[in-house]
């Protein structure tokens, strides 16, 4: 299993409950939930990837289970990983998802090739 399927299902359920229009793409060895054509939330291995934006970034890193997202050794500001202990409780998962959804209208879409 390349990613935590149970976490992916929990995210899917919350997005559906909130009536969010989204698509799912396989990306980075996991899943990415796209909202308005922009990367919003993801599941990479057993971590949740959250696109929360630069304003929420420093405060988010103080939260349980939250760490910098880095694939190349350099953190990507505005994106974080939340380890399983940070999304174990449903209210915590909903908090992170809402943070991503709040930033999504401000996020820039990646350029299409």
Beta sheet of 38-44, edge-to-edge order: 23-27, 30-35, 38-44, 47-51, 79-82, 66-68
* CA–CA separation, 44 and 7 (whole Å): 10
Task: Give one DSSP letter per residue of 38-67, joined into a string.
Answer: EEEEEEEBTEEEEE--HHHHHHHTTSTTEE
pLDDT for 113 beyond 70: no
Check if the beta carbon of residue 80 is closer than 8 Å to that of residue 41. Answer: no
Q: Taking a C-beta distance cutoff of 8 angstroms, is the pair 32, 44 a contact?
A: no
Whole-angstrom CA distances from 56 to 59, 62, 100 are 6, 11, 10
| CATH number 3.30.56.10 given to 5-106 | no
- List pLDDT tens digits, range 31-84: 999 999 999 999 999 999 999 999 999 999 999 999 999 878 888 889 999 999
Question: Against a cut of 0.85, is the pTM above it?
Answer: yes
Whether the Cβ atoms of residue 45 and residue 81 lie closer than 8 Å to each other: no
């Amino acid at each position: 299993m390349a990613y935590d399927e149970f976490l992916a299902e929990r995210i899917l359920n919350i997005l559906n409950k909130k009536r969010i229009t989204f698509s799912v793409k396989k990306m980075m060895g996991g899943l990415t939930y796209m909202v308005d054509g922009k990367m919003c939330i993801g599941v990479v291995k057993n971590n949740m990837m959250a696109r929360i934006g630069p304003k929420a970034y420093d405060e988010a890193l103080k939260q349980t289970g939250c760490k910098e997202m880095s694939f190349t050794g350099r953190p990507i500001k505005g994106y974080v990983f939340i380890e399983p202990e940070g999304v174990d409780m449903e209210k915590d998962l909903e908090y992170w998802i809402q943070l991503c959804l709040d930033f999504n209208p401000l996020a820039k879409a990646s350029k299409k090739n």
